[in-house]
Structure 1
Amino acid sequence: MNARTAPGADAEAPAGRGPTRARHRARSPIISPGWQPALLTAVLAGLLAAGASFGQWAALPAVVLLQAVTAAGWFRLNGMWPARQGIVLAFAGGLAADAAVLAVDEDDVPGALLGVLGVWFLLVIVLQLRHRGSSDERLDSLTATSASTLLTVVAGALLAAVEVSGAAVAVAAGGVAAATVVRALPGPPALTSPLALAAGFGVGVWASGQDIGTPALALGAAGGACALLGLRVASYDFPSRFVHFTAGVALPLTAAAPAVYPLAVALL
């Protein structure tokens, strides 16, 4: 990946030159994270599902961990490292979102999350005023920090969904875990991707026989589809192993957050 800089970041060493670099760029830029990050995603999804069964405070540690890995992974995915200030700011936005979700009534959650986003986007702009790089570097830093903040704050919607229905979050997390693991199996994407979607839907089919009923079908399918979306993003532009073990672990579950909350509200 091309190295860029962000506030507090040191520029990465340039990639290798000559035949090695030519061979590297000749390959497909889409490299899937693989089975090890998939297992970590499944573990994180399992922690979230287990905590969701006992309420928001029990689910909070898993959500906070997800937000931390998301913040770091997004910057590294964009070629920015260490980018300490941006990562801390984005992660702090996620913590503020969690606090807002825990502090307000269920009906006020969307407004609380939007309020946190508004304040944190203002802080992002203030941070960029201290950036001494070129205009291109400032633009890269602004977009990466804003996107990372958006993702960490939106991940707080999982905590809000727990208040609506812990079972809904558990089913969606199960769909994410199943789809991520199946997608990591050996085989062409044309085969493993449909199987991954089927695995997510299968979790919903199984859960529909429990207390949650028919809405579990939509939740499981949404979890599987969002997992594939997150994996695709984490696979782009010759990602490093560090990207795979951060963004590749977190994004499948983070991508499900904006789908799980409205589905839980609408269906349950």
Structure 2
Amino acid sequence: MSSDQQYPYGSYGTYEPYGQQPQQQPQQQQQPEPYQGHQDAYAQQPYQDAGATQTWQGDTWDTQYQPVVQPHAAADAAGPPPQHATAAALPPENGPHGAPTASTSAPPAPDAEAAPENGAQTRLTAAQRARAEGRSPIIAPGVQPAGLTAVLGLLVAGGAALGTYALLVPLVLLQAVTAAGWFRLNGMWPARQGIALAFAGGLAADAALLAVGRDNAPAAIIGTLGVWVLLTLVLQLRSHASADERMSGLMATVASAALAILATGFLAASPDAVTVGAIAVAVAAVARALPLPGVVSVVVSLSAAAGAGIAVGGPTGVGSAGALLGFASGACALIGLRVASYDYPSRFVHMTAGVALPLTAAAPAVYLLGRALV
């Protein structure tokens, strides 16, 4: 009896679950000589395990037309598969209407909507909470930047009283902080080249003013500003960024350089006017940081600035005009604080723009009113 007759197809473990015998297989092809002895030796061995997987790889009907072993046959040979593999291999059971039942469907995924909401609630900024509660999202720099503004204002006032080159030291610091704070206030960070270019404009204005003297201060300041605008435009045209990015960079650089150059007005103004104006800015910034209602805080700040102008104007020779000079300097300081107030609580913005802009904004007023009143 041949091996095909001795071992029916049910021994392969493939057709047993169906309870029927396969049709007569086609005539087996003649095997090459090296396989003939292997077939005879296998045919003489008794059948040991009905569930074992056939190991003989001869050219039979089963290996020609059904090379893939059925899942239950492979399971008999390899043992029970892991639970996750079995679950992945078996199709889901369908319910009465053809939908997957709850027992075989995959476990529900985590709620994708709830997680971001919970994360957003835990990361709410003070500005977002203010919007949700119907309050203003603008956040003032606060007490600490106001204190630094007061310190820097006192340094400017003391430097002006000591002399031009003593004033130059706190002025350069003011210009550097102004350039860095304006870029970050516009959401551009890091922007080292733009900050360096704006700061260099302030230094160029200082050098030009020292070279030509206070009498020619407008020409030095306006000329430096014009040169820096042209230089910034040329550099932005050479950039490979997109058109929108180049326009944003151009506007931010020009504005930052303009502010740094306008701060040179302290160097061009009368020393007595600089002393009065800087002290008035320091007092107005501290008063504005006090926990008072909005309108009351503004009134108190302007009144304190005017009072500081009167108090400092007497010893410096400005006289009663110090009230107007102090009031104008305080108003410019409040404008600078409002510009530095940001709808996102960025500490870097508050510690740079919040510190420098009140003094920088007051420089043109100090120069103009100082020439008119002193």
What is the TM-score with the length of structure 2 in the denominator? Answer: 0.64
What's the offset of the Cα at 1:126? 1.5
What residue in structure 1 maps to residue 295 of structure 2? 190
Which has the bigger relative contact order, CA under 8 A and spacing at least 6?
1
Matched, 1:25 2:128: yes
Q: Secondary structure at the match of 1:132?
A: coil
Matched, 1:254 2:357: no
Would the aligned equivalents of 1:171 and 1:203 in 2 still touch at CA under 8 Å?
yes
Report the Cα distance in structure 1 between the residues aligned to 2:346 and 2:278, rounded to whole angstroms.
Answer: 26
Q: How does 1:100-139 map to 2 (within 5 A)?
A: 100-139=208-247
1:170 aligns with 2:275: yes
Aligned residue identity for 2:292:
G
Aligned to 1:74: 182
Distance 2:125 2:211 in 1: 54
Contact kept in structure 1, 2:128 and 2:137, CA below 8 Å: yes
Check the 8 A contact 1:174/1:223 in 2, yes or no: no
Task: Label 1:219 to 1:134 Cα distance change in 2 as closer, same or farther (>3 A).
Answer: same
Aligned length: 250
Question: Residue in 2 aligned with 1:7?
Answer: none
The counterpart of 2:286, out of the listed 163, 181, 187, is: 181
CA distance in 2, matches of 1:184, 1:217: 21
SS at match of 2:276: helix
Contact 2:126 2:345 in 1 (8 A): no
| Distance in 1, Cα, partners of 2:201 & 2:178 | 12
Q: Which residue of 1 aligns with 2:371?
A: 265
- Post-superposition shift, 1:108? 1.1
CA contact (8 A) 2:205 2:224 kept: yes
Q: Percent identity?
A: 60
Aligned pairs for 1:80-99 within 5 A: 80-99=188-207
- CA-CA distance at 1:134 after TM superposition: 2.2
Measured in 1, the distance between the counterparts of 2:355 and 2:311 equals 25
1:30 CA drift (Å): 0.9
- The equivalent of 1:13 in structure 2 is none
User: Residues 90 and 149 of structure 1 are in contact (CA less than 8 Å); yes or no, is this contact kept in structure 2?
Assistant: yes
Instruction: Give me the whole-angstrom Cα distance separating, in 2, the residues matched to 1:23 and 1:197.
Output: 28
Higher-Rg structure is 2
The one-letter amino acid paired with 2:140 is S
Aligned positions of 1:57-68 closer than 5 A:
57-68=165-176
Are the equivalent residues in 2 in contact too, given 1:77–1:239 (CA < 8 A)?
A: no
- 2:331 is the counterpart of 1:228: no
Please state whether the residue corresponding to 1:53 is helix, strand or coil: helix
Q: Which has the higher helix share?
A: 1
* Structure 2 Cα separation of the partners of residues 254 and 189 of structure 1: 23
User: Any conservation in 1 of the 2:127–2:139 contact (CA below 8 Å)?
Assistant: no
Residue type of the partner of 1:135? A
Q: Following the alignment from structure 1 to structure 2, what is the Cα–Cα distance between the partners of residues 62 and 84?
A: 21
Counterpart CA distance in 2 for 1:239 and 1:175 is: 27
Structure 1 vs Structure 2 CA RMSD: 1.7
Q: Which runs of 5+ in 2 are unaligned?
A: 1-118, 131-135
Aligned equivalents of 1:23, 1:167: Cα separation in 2 = 42
Q: Is 1:142 the counterpart of 2:247 in the alignment?
A: no
Counterparts in 2 of 1:35 and 1:61: CA distance versus 1, 3 Å: same
Conservation of the 8 A alpha-carbon contact between 2:310 and 2:319: no
TM-score by length of 1: 0.89
- Structure-2 change in CA distance of 1:145 and 1:47 (3 Å): same
SS of equivalent to 1:249: helix
8 Å Cα contact 2:276/2:313 also seen in 1: no
How many Å apart are 1:152 and its aligned residue? 0.2
Distance 2:196 2:258 in 1: 13
Structure 1 residue 166, shift from structure 2 partner: 1.1
Change in CA separation of 1:158 and 1:239 when aligned onto 2, cut-off 3 Å: farther
